[in-house]
Amino acid sequence: MIKAVLFDFDGVIVNSEPVHFRTFMEFIGPLGIEVDEKRWYSEFAGTGSKNIFTVLLGEAGITDEKTIDGYVEKRRIAYGELIKKGEVKKKGGIKEFLETLKERNMKTAVVSGGHRENIGIALSVIGLRGYFDIIMGSGDYEKRKPYPDAFLTAAEKLGVKPEECVAIEDSFSGFKAAKGAGMKVIIMESPAVESIDKTKVEAIIKDFGEFPMELLGG
């Protein structure tokens, strides 16, 4: 029996990956580093800012930890400003879906590799802040996705077993993390999920109007 629905944030609750891509390129472009969208979605989507900057700055010979952390912080602030300007939009049907979950007494969580502060700001801007029991971002668990730590920690905080959870993801790393935690997985369509074995997910959806409600029972 499903008792909780766990949401990745970027690409699931909000259409944010294009904005993430743009802000990262603004910082690494001046260093002569070029990343096309295909590489972005296949390698970096859903892996967290620290990992992304560590890899990309490393390609420019920048490996100093403090310098990398500086880029992470500056990018976080730049992205946060775009959130406040309303450039990050919510996914179709998400509010109605969350209202249905509350009516069914389902527990809910945001389980993201992003910065919790920016997630909170974005949820407030799009009017969804009060719909989640917990919000987890980078730093709230030990190992980032594709390790299962984020989802296992969320289940523990919600007081449910992993097998009682459905995770909604839009990246290969997120898919691996949720499956590794022993959860059922729904995939939101994106360029980052092309390599996922579709036989190992419950469904692939374009928006929340396509969510298979029978999965939740009742």
Question: Which of 182, 176, 216 shows the shortest CA–CA distance to 197?
Answer: 176
User: Which pLDDT does position 218 carry in this prediction?
Assistant: 60
Q: How confident is the model at residue 194 (pLDDT cuts 50, 70, 90)?
A: confident
Q: What values do phi and psi take at 6, rounded to 5?
A: -110, 125
Q: How confident is the model at residue 139 (pLDDT cuts 50, 70, 90)?
A: confident
Pick the CATH number of 4-15+89-216 from 3.40.50.1000, 3.40.50.1220, 3.30.750.80, 3.40.50.720: 3.40.50.1000
Question: Which of 217, 178, 210, 176 shows the shortest CA–CA distance to 195?
Answer: 176
Tell me the whole-structure pTM to 2 decimals. 0.85
User: Which pLDDT does position 215 carry in this prediction?
Assistant: 93
Residue ranges per domain, the chain?
Answer: 4-15+89-216, 17-84
Average pLDDT over residues 173-198: 90
User: Which pLDDT does position 86 carry in this prediction?
Assistant: 87
pLDDT tens sequence across 14-56: 988 889 899 999 999 999 998 998 888 888 887 888 999 999 9
Average pLDDT over residues 191-207: 87
Average pLDDT over residues 62-70: 95
Residue 82 structure tokens: 């775009």
- Tell me the one-letter amino acid at 127: G
| Token pair 């992205």 in the structure block, residue | 79
In the Cβ-directed half-sphere of 175, how many Cα atoms lie within 13 Å? Answer: 24
pLDDT tens sequence across 179-189: 999 999 999 98
Q: Is the pLDDT of residue 142 over 70?
A: yes
pLDDT tens sequence across 73-130: 999 999 889 988 988 899 999 999 999 999 999 999 999 988 888 899 899 999 999 9
